[in-house]
Amino acid sequence: MSINKLRNYTDLVWKMISCNLRIIFSNKFIWFLTGSVIFYLGLSVIYVFSNNVSRMEDLFGVFLFSGLLLVFYPAVFGIQNDMDARTIEILFGIPDYRYKVWLVRIILIFIMAFTILLFFTFLSSVLIVKFRILPVTLQIMVPVLFMGMLGFFLSTVIRNGNGTAVILIIIGILFMMFGDSALGRSQWNIFLNPYNIPYEMNETSWALVTFRNRIILLTGSVLFLLGALLNLQNREKYM
């Protein structure tokens, strides 16, 4: 590949990334980003002045909710925003290009969320309690990835951001309600906290439950992504 071709390819990739970043950060996403930062900072200040600052299971919940706020709006309302702005007609007019656009956009959403969560965990490790930053961030990203992909998939089925948001919130509330039950301590819990080991379970058994849970969530994330891209083949549903 010549230098000119490489430069042109690099420019094309950069323009695609910058364009999709402008789309992601448009509309109401900035409010969800602000809410995530305020939520994290507020609870972090409480933990800094608390005597009980060694409970990683509590910090995990703070990180998880902050991550869910980051991916909620772009994953749930992305398709509706394209429909409202009439840009979806342009995307469907370019054969096989629409998949690359939405795939790049969804990848950028989670890269952005991972970067911000990495910064959050770094601050907490410095200011609150010492822990390994990267493993904790990766553990948080698994349920965030699952819920984001689920929201993206549902948005291609319902084709309405508000309706998708309601269903996603109901699913989240149901799993939170059963957090202290047998389901909450099983491998099927979407919001399983790997650092909150049940009293009746040893660390080895809990590690196995956590591992199976992460495999299930990652597999579900891939299936939801493929299902969403498959649903986007039906042009008539969105035009």
Report percent pLDDT > 90 for the chain. Answer: 23
Alpha-carbon gap, residue 89 to 104, rounded angstroms: 18
Q: Whole-angstrom Cα distance, residue 192 to residue 14?
A: 37
CA distance linking residue 95 with residue 14, whole number of Å: 21
pLDDT digit string (tens) for 32-87?
A: 778 788 888 887 777 766 655 556 677 888 899 889 988 888 888 777 666 655 56
- In the chain, where the domains are located: 3-237
Q: Is 27 left (phi over 0), alpha (psi -120 to 50) or beta?
A: left
> How many Cβ atoms sit within 10 Å of the Cβ of residue 7?
10
pLDDT in tens, 163-215: 888 998 898 888 888 766 777 788 889 999 898 888 878 888 889 999 999 99
- Residue 123 corresponds to which tokens in the numbers above? 């601050």
Mean pLDDT of the chain: 79
Place of tokens 């109401």: 28
Structure tokens at 192: 């399983």
